[in-house]
Amino acid sequence: MKFPSELKYTETDEWVLVEGNIAIIGLTDFAQDQLSDLVYFESLVEVGDVIEVETQLGTVESVKSAGDVLAPVSGEVIEINTDLEDEPEIVNADPYVDGWMFKIKMANSSELDDLMSADEYMEQCEE
């Protein structure tokens, strides 16, 4: 399993890549592995929506179970990976690049301080 060190992680298995004031968000390799083959992705927000931390951004379903995608930061939704609506299995194949789900223009970058490093997240996954 991969835990890229340049990312931040949530306790609910989302990853965050920060590019300037933009947070790119997706499900971790660990999460996609636990869910198994994804068969469904739905965004519950739209571009332009202003959201708070822990807002439910979307839903994913696999052959085994379903899960929510929660916002790790607050801000404005600026892009949604609509390719996942037709091909949710992209998340299984490439969770950290093509499998990104949402881009959020952050309202408060200090919220990133509440997220885990790769090492901290790896420890959580091992428990």
- pLDDT over threshold 90, residue 127: no
Could you give the angle at the alpha carbon of 54 between the alpha carbons of 45 and 69, nearest 5°? 60
Measure CA of the first residue to CA of the last residue in the chain; give whole Å: 15
Domains of the chain: 8-108 (2.40.50.100)
Pairing, β 22-27 against β 102-106: antiparallel
> Each residue of 40-96: pLDDT tens digit?
999 999 999 999 999 999 999 998 899 999 999 999 999 999 999 999 999 999 999
- In angstroms, the CA 22 to CA 59 distance is 21
Structure tokens given for 40? 């469904």
- In angstroms, the CA 115 to CA 92 distance is 23
